[in-house]
C-alpha cells in the first residue's frame, strides 16, 4: 500500500512534546476549572480523534502518541530509551484499520516485519479499553506465557503512567499479576468505578482457555508460534460475537521470522481474511497476486530507520545519503527496499545461503517471503518454499476433503470396496482420485506413520498418525511433464506425485487403522504396496485381524540389504532406526530434486522445510515410508527386466593338428 506524505506531524503529539520537556501535561492545579477543561479536551481527542493540517488521526492513535510510554530509539540517539511514541505513517494506517474493523464489525489478522513495535501498540489498545470504554473486558492471549505476559505488562506500565501523570488513571479493586480490574470500595462497602478489566491468558495445551468469558478486545499474540491457534481462535471467537456479528474486536498478529508451529493455520487466516470476517486488503506485494485478498501486512521497508550508504553492503551510489525515514515519520519505501535487498545480496554472495534465507524470512518485503519457514536445511528449502508459495497462490491446488465408507451389499459390509463421501470436515485429503479399472498393477503406493492405543488415551499433545499415497507411473503416457500447468487442466493425470494425505488423532486408534485400510482399498495398493513403520505393532495386529496384511502391507524392504546392517525382528513393515532413516532421507532428497512440484500439501511442504531429527514430523515420517516403498517398487521393476543371457559356445577338438567343432 502507498501512504500519503505527512507534514508537520509533531502537531499530532504536542502534548507528548510538552510532557517530555516539562515532566507534566498542564500547569493548572488539580481540581481547578482549567485543569478539568484541559483533561476534558484531551479526553475528547482520545475518544473522537484529532485533526491537524487537514489530516485526522483516530482517538486510539492520539492516545498512543501522547499518553503511552514505550521503549524507542529517539532521533540522534544511539540507544533505546523510554519515551512517548513518534509518528509513523504505517502506524496511522494500523490505527485507521482498527477503527475500520470496529465500524464494519470485523476482525484483524496481521503479519509484520521485526521491530515494528506492535507489542506496544497492542498494549496501548488494552490500556485504551480499560481507560475509556465502560464495562470493558480485554484479553491478550498467547500459546506461551512470555508473549501474553509481556504485552500485558506493557499495558500495566501505561496504566501506571496514567495514574501518575494524567486525569485518566483508574484505581484498581483487583491488582493481580495476570488480572487488573478498575474500581474502588465505597464507605458503605459497595464497589464503585467502571469495573473495566484486562487479563492475559496462556493457551498452551488448552485451546479452550477463553471459553465462558466475554470480551470487547482480544489480542492473539505471536500466532505463528501458536501450535493450536486454529482451535484456540475458533473456540474463543464466540465470546466476541452476538450471534454471527462481532461485538468485540479480535486481533491475530504474527511476526516474520517467528513462524513455526502455527504457520499453517496462521496462513489460512491471513490468505483467506474474508472467509473469517477479517479486514482484507489487496496483495500488492507479491507480483501477480494484486487481485487476491490478504490480511494486513507490514513489510520491513515500513519504518526502516537509517541513512542509505552508511553500510558496506550498500551499492547504489546515487542513493547514498538518503534517509530511509524522514523527520515526519514518512517511510522512503524505495530506498528502504534497496537497503534490505543489498543486505540479502551481500549474504548470498558471501556463500552463506542459510544466513540470507534467515534474513529474508525475518525482514520480508512481501508475504510469501514472511511465510517461508526457516528450516535446518536438510532438504532444498528454496525449492520447497517456492512450492509453498505456489500452492497458496492457486486455489486449484486445494485438495478435496472427505471420508471413505465401506460399501454395503444387501445389508452386509463389503470390506473389499469403499465409497468416497465429500465432507468439508473430513480428515482425508485427495488431490487425485484413483484411476478407474485398476485390475492388475496398481500405480499407487502408500506409507504410514501409525499411532498406538496407549498413546491416544493421554491428554497431553503427542504426534498424530499420518498416511500418504503416492502415484508412480514409470513411463508416463499422454502426460505434459510441466506439472506447473496441472492446475489449469484437470483432465491431466498426475504421476510420481502425492495424491492423498490422511493425518488424524482419533480417541480410538482403531479408527485411524481402519481409515488407512480404507485408503489402501480405495487406491488398490493390493500388491503389498503399503510400507508401515512397525515400531507400533497395533496397526499390524489390526491388519492381521482383518486378514489384509498379505494383501497390502509390504515386508522388510530389499533396498536396505547391503546398504546397512538391518536385521528386523518383525517381517512386516520397517523399523525406522537411525541408519534406516538416513537411507530413506537420501532417497527422499533425490525424489524432491525431481518432484517437489508434484507435492501440493502445504502442511507436508512446511514440515519438510522445518524438519530435524528431534521433533515430531508425522507427515515426513509417513513420506519416508512411502519413498522407501517407491524405491522398492523401482528396484523390483528393474530386477524383472534384467535378463541373464547365456552364450552357447560350440565344443571343439583337435584332429590332425586342426581345431574342429564337434
Cell of 319: 542513493
Q: Which of 156-160, 309-313, 610-614, 651-655 has the lowest mean pLDDT?
A: 651-655
Task: Check residue 660 and give its pLDDT.
Answer: 64
Mean pLDDT of the region 178-184: 92
Instruction: Kindly tell me if the per-residue pLDDT of 318 is higher than 90.
Output: yes
Q: Which of 57-66, 387-396, 528-537 has the lowest mean pLDDT?
A: 387-396
Higher-pLDDT residue of 349, 589? 589
Instruction: Kindly give, in sequence order, each residue whose CB lies less than 8 Å from that of residue 142, ignoring residues fewer than 6 positions away.
Output: 148, 151, 200, 201, 202, 203, 220, 221, 222, 226
- Cell numbers 494506517 correspond to what residue? 93
Task: Check residue 480 and give its pLDDT.
Answer: 41
Residues forming beta bridges with residue 222, ordered by sequence position: none
pLDDT class of 2 with cuts at 50, 70, 90: low
Q: Where are the beta strands (DSSP E) in 231-303?
A: 241-242, 245-246, 249-255, 281-282, 293-294, 296-298
Q: What is the mean pLDDT of the chain?
A: 86
Mean pLDDT of the region 458-486: 59
Task: Check residue 536 and give its pLDDT.
Answer: 77
Q: What is the pLDDT of residues 75-130, one digit of tens each?
A: 777 678 899 999 999 999 999 999 999 999 999 999 998 888 899 999 999 999 99
Instruction: Kindly tell me if the per-residue pLDDT of 639 is higher than 80.
Output: no
Q: Which of 82-86, 147-151, 171-175, 182-186 has the lowest mean pLDDT?
A: 182-186
Mean pLDDT of the region 35-61: 97
Other C-beta atoms closer than 10 Å to the C-beta of 103 total 8
Q: Which of 112-126, 217-231, 586-600, 602-616 has the lowest mean pLDDT?
A: 602-616
Higher-pLDDT residue of 568, 40? 40
Distinct helix (H) and strand (E) counts, the chain? 19, 27
Of 24, 26, 62, 17, nearest to 44 by C-alpha is 62
Task: Check residue 368 and give its pLDDT.
Answer: 80
Share above pLDDT 90 across residues of the chain, in percent, rounded to a whole number:
54
Task: Check residue 604 and give its pLDDT.
Answer: 93
Instruction: Kindly tell me if the per-residue pLDDT of 652 is higher than 70.
Output: no
Compute the C-alpha angle 300/361/390, nearest 5°: 110
Q: What is the pLDDT of residues 212-255, one digit of tens each?
A: 677 899 999 998 888 788 888 988 888 888 888 888 999 999 98
Task: Check residue 487 and give its pLDDT.
Answer: 45
Higher-pLDDT residue of 427, 212? 427
Instruction: Kindly tell me if the per-residue pLDDT of 151 is higher than 70.
Output: yes
* Domain spans, the chain: 9-298, 396-641
Instruction: Kindly tell me if the per-residue pLDDT of 601 is higher than 60.
Output: yes
Mean pLDDT of the region 272-298: 85
Instruction: Kindly tell me if the per-residue pLDDT of 556 is higher than 60.
Output: yes
Instruction: Kindly tell me if the per-residue pLDDT of 473 is higher than 90.
Output: no
Between CA 250 and CA 252 the distance in angstroms is 7
- pTM to 2 decimals? 0.68
Say whether 660 sits in a helix, a strand or coil: strand
Task: Check residue 643 and give its pLDDT.
Answer: 45
Instruction: Kindly give, in sequence order, each residue whose CB lies less than 8 Å from that of residue 93, ignoring residues fewer than 6 positions away.
Output: 1, 3
Task: Check residue 129 and give its pLDDT.
Answer: 96
Q: Which of 49-63, 89-103, 461-475 has the lowest mean pLDDT?
A: 461-475
Task: Check residue 87 and give its pLDDT.
Answer: 96
Between CA 605 and CA 608 the distance in angstroms is 5
pLDDT class of 655 with cuts at 50, 70, 90: low
Task: Check residue 661 and give its pLDDT.
Answer: 63
**CB contact at 8 A, 258 and 112:** no
Task: Check residue 481 and give its pLDDT.
Answer: 44
Task: Check residue 534 and give its pLDDT.
Answer: 86
Q: What is the pLDDT of residues 358-393, one digit of tens each?
A: 888 889 998 888 877 655 567 887 788 888 888 877
Higher-pLDDT residue of 638, 415? 415
pLDDT class of 314 with cuts at 50, 70, 90: very high
Compute the C-alpha angle 70/20/22, nearest 5°: 150
Task: Check residue 659 and give its pLDDT.
Answer: 59
pLDDT class of 562 with cuts at 50, 70, 90: low
Cell of 181: 480490574
Superfamily of domain 9-298: P-loop containing nucleotide triphosphate hydrolases (3.40.50.300)
Select from 3.30.420.240, 3.40.50.2300, 1.10.287.110, 3.40.1160.10 the CATH code of 396-641: 3.30.420.240
Amino acid at each position: 500500500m502507498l501512504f500519503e506524505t505527512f507534514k508537520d506531524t509533531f502537531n499530532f503529539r504536542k502534548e507528548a512534546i510538552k510532557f517530555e520537556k516539562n515532566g507534566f501535561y498542564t500547569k493548572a492545579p488539580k481540581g481547578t476549572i482549567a485543569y478539568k477543561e484541559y483533561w476534558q479536551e484531551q479526553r475528547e481527542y482520545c475518544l473522537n480523534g484529532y485533526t491537524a493540517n487537514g489530516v485526522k488521526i483516530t482517538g486510539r492513535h492520539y492516545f498512543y502518541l501522547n499518553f503511552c510510554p514505550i521503549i524507542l530509539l529517539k532521533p540522534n540517539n544511539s540507544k533505546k530509551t523510554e519515551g512517548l511514541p513518534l509518528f509513523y505513517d504505517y502506524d496511522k494506517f494500523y490505527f485507521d484499520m482498527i477503527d475500520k474493523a470496529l465500524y464494519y464489525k470485523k476482525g484483524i489478522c496481521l503479519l509484520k516485519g521485526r521491530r515494528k513495535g506492535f507489542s506496544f501498540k497492542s498494549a496501548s489498545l488494552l490500556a485504551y479499553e480499560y481507560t475509556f470504554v465502560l464495562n470493558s473486558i480485554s484479553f491478550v492471549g498467547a500459546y506461551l506465557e512470555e508473549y501474553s505476559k509481556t504485552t500485558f505488562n506493557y499495558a500495566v506500565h501505561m496504566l501506571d503512567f496514567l495514574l501518575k501523570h494524567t486525569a485518566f488513571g483508574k484505581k484498581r479493586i483487583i491488582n493481580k499479576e495476570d488480572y487488573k480490574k478498575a474500581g474502588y470500595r465505597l464507605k458503605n462497602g459497595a464497589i464503585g468505578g467502571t469495573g473495566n478489566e484486562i487479563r492475559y491468558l496462556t493457551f498452551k495445551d488448552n485451546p479452550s482457555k477463553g471459553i465462558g468469558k466475554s470480551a470487547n478486545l482480544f489480542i492473539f499474540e505471536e500466532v505463528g508460534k501458536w501450535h493450536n491457534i486454529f482451535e484456540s481462535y475458533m473456540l474463543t471467537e464466540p465470546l466476541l460475537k452476538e450471534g454471527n456479528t462481532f461485538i468485540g474486536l479480535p486481533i491475530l498478529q504474527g511476526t516474520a521470522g517467528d513462524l513455526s508451529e502455527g504457520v499453517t493455520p496462521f496462513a489460512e487466516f491471513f490468505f483467506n481474511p474474508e472467509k473469517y470476517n477479517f479486514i482484507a486488503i489487496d496483495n500488492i506485494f507479491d507480483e501477480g497476486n494484486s487481485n487476491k485478498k490478504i490480511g494486513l501486512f507490514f513489510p520491513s521497508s515500513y519504518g526502516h530507520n537509517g541513512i542509505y550508504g552508511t553500510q558496506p553492503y550498500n551499492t547504489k551510489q546515487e542513493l547514498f545519503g538518503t534517509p530511509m525515514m524522514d523527520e515526519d515519520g514518512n517511510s522512503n519505501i524505495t530506498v528502504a527496499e534497496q537497503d534490505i535487498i543489498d543486505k540479502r545480496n551481500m549474504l548470498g554472495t558471501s556463500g552463506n545461503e542459510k544466513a540470507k534465507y534467515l534474513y529474508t524470512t525475518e525482514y520480508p518485503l512481501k508475504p510469501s517471503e514472511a511465510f517461508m519457514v526457516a528450516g535446518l536445511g536438510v532438504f532444498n528449502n528454496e525449492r520447497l518454499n517456492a512450492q509453498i508459495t505456489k500452492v497458496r497462490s492457486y486455489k486449484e491446488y486445494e485438495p478435496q476433503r472427505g471420508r471413505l465408507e465401506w460399501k454395503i451389499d444387501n445389508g452386509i459390509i463389503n470390506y473389499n470396496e469403499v465409497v468416497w463421501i465429500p465432507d468439508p470436515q473430513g480428515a482425508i485429503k485427495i488431490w487425485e482420485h484413483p484411476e478407474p479399472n485398476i485390475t492388475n498393477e496398481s500405480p499407487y503406493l502408500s506409507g504410514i506413520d501409525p499411532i498406538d492405543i496407549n498413546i491416544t488415551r493421554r491428554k497431553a499433545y503427542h504426534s498424530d498418525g499420518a498416511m500418504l499415497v503416492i502415484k508412480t507411473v514409470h513411463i508416463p503416457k499422454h502426460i505434459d511433464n510441466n506439472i506447473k500447468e496441472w492446475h489449469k487442466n484437470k483432465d491431466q493425470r498426475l504421476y510420481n506425485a502425492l495424491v492423498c494425505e490422511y493425518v488424524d488423532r482419533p480417541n480410538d486408534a482403531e479408527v485411524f487403522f481402519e481409515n488407512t485400510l480404507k485408503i489402501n482399498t480405495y487406491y488398490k495398493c493390493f500388491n503389498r504396496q503399503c510400507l508401515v513403520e512397525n515400531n507400533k505393532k497395533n496397526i499390524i495386529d489390526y491388519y492381521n485381524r482383518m486378514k489384509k496384511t498379505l494383501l497390502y502391507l509390504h515386508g522388510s524392504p530389499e533396498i536396505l540389504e547391503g546398504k546397512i546392517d538391518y536385521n528386523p525382528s518383525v517381517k512386516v513393515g520397517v523399523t525406522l532406526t537411525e541408519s534406516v532413516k538416513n537411507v530413506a532421507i537420501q532417497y527422499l532428497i533425490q525424489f524432491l530434486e525431481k518432484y517437489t512440484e508434484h507435492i501440493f500439501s502445504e502442511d507436508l511442504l512446511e514440515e519438510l522445510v522445518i524438519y530435524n531429527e528431534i521433533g515430531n514430523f508425522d507427515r515426513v515420517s509417513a513420506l519416508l515410508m512411502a519413498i522407501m516403498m517407491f524405491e522398492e517398487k523401482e528396484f523390483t521393476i528393474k530386477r524383472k527386466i534384467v535378463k541373464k543371457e547365456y552364450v552357447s559356445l560350440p565344443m571343439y577338438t583337435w584332429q590332425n593338428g586342426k581345431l574342429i567343432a564337434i
